[in-house]
Amino acid sequence: MLTSKKIRAAIIGASGYSGAELLRLLSTRDDVEITRVVAGTSAGKKVAELYPVFAGTVDLQYEEFRAEKSENADIAFVALPSGESMKVVPGLLASVGRVIDLGGDFRLLSPELYTQYYKHEHVAQHLLSEAVYGLPELNSQAIADAKLIANPGCYPTSVILALLPALKSGLIKTEHIVVNSLSGVSGAGRSASVELSFTEVNENIKAYKIGNHQHIPEIQTVLEKASGSTISLSFVPHLVPITRGIYTTIHASLDAAVTEAEIRHLYEAFYREAPFVRIRKEIPQIKDVARTNFCDIGMTLLTPTKQIVLTSVIDNLVKGAAGQAVQNMNIMFGLKQTKGLL
């Protein structure tokens, strides 16, 4: 629904990287007023104390969380760790009415699956069926009417966007799909830890959470629902010594005799109405999407083996988090998806 007044937005968890990215994207918009920024451990500090880049442009102070204090907001963004969002979202829905959760608490329909992968009991199970999966390229109509958006994970965004056209068209076989994703360090959040320190990360690459990463069921369930097929997929994430960005490489077997040009045409047609997906003739690279809301997808046909290699790149803090959340907000308020994101 279009609004003639400013959209009043509250950011819960505003001191983390995704929260700061939301501030960056929203603070320059003349149609948005940021009413509150909440951050428990930084409550009482000015935003510019934590992030000097906002000095002179954002004159806000971090507050402690109280759901009733968000009543003067039209929408609340929740950028809290998994297990924390579900504690505050019910109260926010009652006081605000529209909530976009950037965490993982409402992405899975099954509370058992959530507990298995996120290692928490779900305390707001009654909202799981109400949450709309916020991938605009897949669910834009449902997003427009939603009260609660489950913003997709960064890894799933890069994987799902790359695979959707191929799976929905029957281009590739649904078994033995191999996914490798490389992420910058900001994907782990702002909390300090030895394994994420400069000395440990610099000049190093390592795989982690092989077979039990929390994004595996998200990728699997979304792709199976969208394609209507059971999918056999392996996913291995890697940490690489860059600040931001995700690079995903996917190997799949073709289920049809096609040329690379035909595959590219299929992808271009599929994403014709998707302003933030770009199909590239060359192999995409992270620097082409850094600090943008774009997802660039490339493809290479391996003719002798009848396989295809798909590559996709996103900025994990923008299209993988805050930018996608703003894109969802735009849809919810009847605005162009691109507003404030180009």
Q: Which residues are part of the catalytic machinery?
A: 154
The contacts of residue 220 (CB under 8 Å, 6+ apart) are 231, 233
Phi-psi domain of 280 (left: phi exceeds 0; alpha: psi -120 through 50; beta: other): beta
Q: Which two tokens stand for residue 310?
A: 């798909």
102 C-beta neighbours (distance < 10 Å), count: 30
CA-CA distance, 302 to 251, in Å (whole number)?
10
d(CA 52, CA 88): 28
Cβ–Cβ < 8 Å for 310, 297 = yes
For tokens 């003349």, name the residue. Answer: 30
* β-pair type (277-279, 295-302): parallel
Give me the helix-helix angle, 216-227 and 154-168, nearest 10°: 20
Residue 81, phi then psi, degrees to nearest 5: -65, 160
Helix axes 17-26, 323-332, angle to 10 degrees: 50
